Structure 1
Amino acid sequence: MRLSRRALLATPALLPAGALAQGEWPQRPITMLVPFVAGGPSDITARVIASKLSGILGQSVVVENRPGANGAVAGQVLARAPADGYTLMTGSIGVFAINAALRPNLPYNPLRDFQTVTLAVTTPNVLIINPAKVPATDYAGVLAWLKANGRNVSYATSGVGSSEHMTMELFKLRAGVEATHVPYQGGAAAATSLIAGDTELTFQNLSGVAAHIQAGRIKPVMVTSERRNPTIPDVPTAAEVGLSDFVVTSWQATMAPAGLPAPVLAKLEAGCIQALRHPESVQRLSQIGFDVVASSAAEFRRFQEAEIDRWKTVVDRANIRAE
């Protein structure tokens, strides 16, 4: 699902720096949870937001990494936190959508227990191969090779239920091919396995593999964005290679506990949007392949609901089970 231009424009008015510090909230520092280790997409996004939001709110915003259980550890902390605006979380599509579709015993419900604040950024996934292992130079060649050898092919991901895992399973369903899933602990490890030749191909977030592509260590054959990405302008989109309705993005977003008072939500929503749209934030996030969205809380909620429904269909059709 994509956000409409009209929806993106229907966001709260941006506020002058320091304007939010004049009200009753906030009166003390804010904690921004990150459900993964430092250095990943969620962590980078959280720190970009926090660096600007501190000045906007007039209180420090402290990023705290709480990794574990594919985001469930931090998710449970957020769900149990007071709905007072002093605990937030910036996390991924997995934490806020895919986990709900994949894990029936999840210790939090991302719709019931969380209040949306903003959909911060998106990035497409890219189908990449090890050119020494896959005798093909374009998507058509990769597809033909997969159809002939799929049962002997392995693909790497950053873990069960990750955006890359779900994208490949959707691709397998749509393209009618087979491949064996090999989950790793993070996208960096998955990319390393591909470069080393331990696996043959993978979908990965473009932001995480752009440097490897530019260095020629891996070869991109298709990107899941609506339009070609300027980072890899020669790589066709899914639609261009014949896969219609295959626009898939990985995304990062900010949430608060459910029940947040409306005045606090309004300040948070406007503050996060302003932080994300700051020229320095846009430049930093664009450099690593992110598109800044900075949506309204209401638009993000509709987007989240659609994403959960979409990935539940993939989980059910592909018979995917959490390991």
Structure 2
Amino acid sequence: MRLTLRRRALLAAPAALLAAPALGQGTSPGAWPQRPIRIVVPFGGGGGSDVTTRIIAPRLQDVLGQPVVIENRAGAGGVVGTDYVAKQPPTGDVFVLATLSPIGLAPGLPTPMPFDPIRDLTPVAPTVFVPIGLAITQRGVTARTAQEFVALMKARPGFYQYGSSGVGSSGHIAAATFAIKTGTEAIHVPYRGGGQVFTALQSGEIHYCADIASLLKPFHDAGTARIIFMATDDRSSLVPDVPTAREAGMPDYKAYSWYGIFGPAGLARPIVDRMAQALETVLSDATIKRRFEEMGTPAMTGWNPDRFAAYVREENATWAPLVRSLNIRE
């Protein structure tokens, strides 16, 4: 499926879903929350999920009328923090901004998962859709295009290294898939968050990584790194000089992510609906919507919990077998 079509499906909800009731029947909007709310970000600071949560949290706090506290619990490509929330009591006090990584990608890796993404979490609502690009360091790497970089990698198998926010993260799978699709060999270096990955990329500690265009753009513009393609159908308005994967000679290359709010399994439906309604209000705010557009990660508005739950099941069923078939190692 072409990414443009998938993005349209993600960002446009049927009218029937938009008309779905925002609150559980017979539940007062003021019944929850009564205490501060924690949102766990399962990655370190400076990455896309961390930035996204910090954009949403202040407005969400206003809408819900309770403090919203962000807590970073990095490790294992988002698995550690997501597992932490999966094991909490479903009281409505703690949520996680999980990504495609622990929901659909990590389950396809050899390491056993400490939780079941479908059974042990309650999907609430998506937040943003995340197109991914691949960037190479300009410290000691002379390549300017994907073809030139592939030639360098083939000339020195196993020499080049790529970084990610952890095993099973979207950056890990996207970068590993690049090596597999191009018939090259590279070494994975996991970090605890996107900030560390970008520091390593600029210094030449790693040779390439995959991430959001807006986070890579400052290094691209400064000349410390170079985005060699975007895994999208059309060129990104953020980096119009960067070719698509198809233009770069990889028409079958596929990489994207999304971020969504989840609670522990068993979370009461009135809480789920109230939180989903609040997130819809926040994501529909013109200022916040524009901020995400500027980041190249469009807000996923017009969803309800049932539609998001169905999408989560679909993504898990699609990506886990795909990752397994690629035989990606840690």
Q: TM-score, normalised by structure 1?
A: 0.85
State how far apart, in whole Å, the 2-side matches of 1:61 and 1:185 are. Answer: 23
- Counterpart check, 1:316 vs 2:316: no
Output the CA distance in 2 between the equivalents of 1:321 and 1:255.
27
* Structure 1 residue 233: Cα displacement: 0.6
Contact 2:129 2:257 in 1 (8 A): yes
Conserved in 2, the CA contact under 8 Å of 1:169 and 1:314? no
Residue 8, structure 1, aligned to residue 12, structure 2: yes
Question: What fraction of aligned residue pairs are identical, expressed as a percent?
Answer: 32
Q: Which moved more, 1:118-127 or 1:174-183?
A: 174-183
Q: In structure 2, what is the equivalent of residue 43 of structure 1?
A: 50
Check 1:12–1:104 CA distance in 2 against 1; reply closer, same or farther (3 A cut).
farther
Shift in Å at residue 112 of structure 1? 0.5
Partners of 1:178 and 1:73 lie apart in 2 by: 28
2:70 is the alignment partner of 1:55: no
Out of 186, 198, 201, which is 1:191 matched to? Answer: 198
C-alpha displacement at 1:69, in angstroms?
Answer: 4.7
Question: In 2 relative to 1, CA 38–127 (structure 1 residues): closer, same or farther, beyond 3 Å?
Answer: closer
Letter in structure 2 aligned against 1:79: A
Structure 1 residue identity aligned to 2:13: L
Residue 209 of structure 1 is matched in structure 2 by 216
Distance 1:221 1:70, change over 3 A: closer
**Secondary structure, counterpart of 1:292 in structure 2:** coil
Aligned partners of 1:271, 1:38: CA distance in 2, in Å? 24
What is the CA–CA distance in structure 2 between the aligned matches of 1:58 and 1:130, rounded to whole Å?
44
2:315 to 284, 296, 307: 307
Q: In structure 1, the residue corresponding to 2:156 is in which secondary structure?
A: helix
Query: 144, 151, 159: which is aligned to 1:137?
Result: 144
Q: How does 1:262-301 map to 2 (within 5 A)?
A: 262-294=269-301, 295-301=303-309
Which segment drifts farther, 187-196 or 231-240? 187-196
* Whole-Å separation in 2 of the counterparts to 1:6 and 1:160: 26
2:133 corresponds to which residue?
A: 126
Alignment map for 1:10-159 (pairs within 5 Å): 10=14, 11-12=17-18, 22-102=29-109, 104-159=111-166
Give the conservation status (yes or no) of the 8 Å contact 2:74–2:192: no
Residues 46, 195 of structure 2: 8 Å contact kept: no
For 1:173-203, what per-residue CA distance to the aligned partner results, in whole angstroms no more than 9, with x for missing partners?
Answer: 3222222223333333333333223333332
Q: Tell me the CA shift for residue 166 of structure 1.
A: 0.4
Q: Which amino acid aligns with 2:103?
A: F
Task: Verify the 8 A CA contact 1:117 1:254 in the aligned structure 2.
Answer: yes
Q: Secondary structure at the match of 2:282?
A: helix
Distance in 1, Cα, partners of 2:44 & 2:227:
27
Let me know the Cα RMSD of the aligned residues.
Answer: 2.9
* Partner secondary structure for residue 219 of structure 1: strand
Question: Is the 8 Å Cα contact of residues 152 and 180 (structure 1) preserved in structure 2?
Answer: yes
Structure-2 separation of matches of 1:120 and 1:130: 30
- Of the structure 1 ranges 20-29 and 280-289, higher mean CA displacement relative to structure 2 is found in 20-29
| One-letter amino acid matched to 1:312 | A
* Contact preservation (8 Å) 2:141, 2:207: yes
Q: How far does residue 223 in structure 1 lie from its aligned partner after superposition?
A: 0.7
Instruction: Answer yes or no: is the 8 Å Cα contact 1:21–1:57 preserved in 2.
Output: no
Unmatched 5+ residue regions in structure 2?
none
* SS of alignment partner, residue 247 of structure 1: coil
Cα distance, 1:310 vs structure 2: 4.1
Contact 1:21 1:59 in 2 (8 A): no
Please state if 1:251 is matched with 2:255. Answer: no
Aligned partner of residue 126 in structure 2, secondary structure = strand
CA distance in 2, matches of 1:104, 1:233: 38
1:228 pairs with 2:232: no
Give the TM-score normalised by structure 2. 0.83
Map of 1:182 onto structure 2: 189
CA distance in 2 between counterparts of 1:31 and 1:128 reads 33
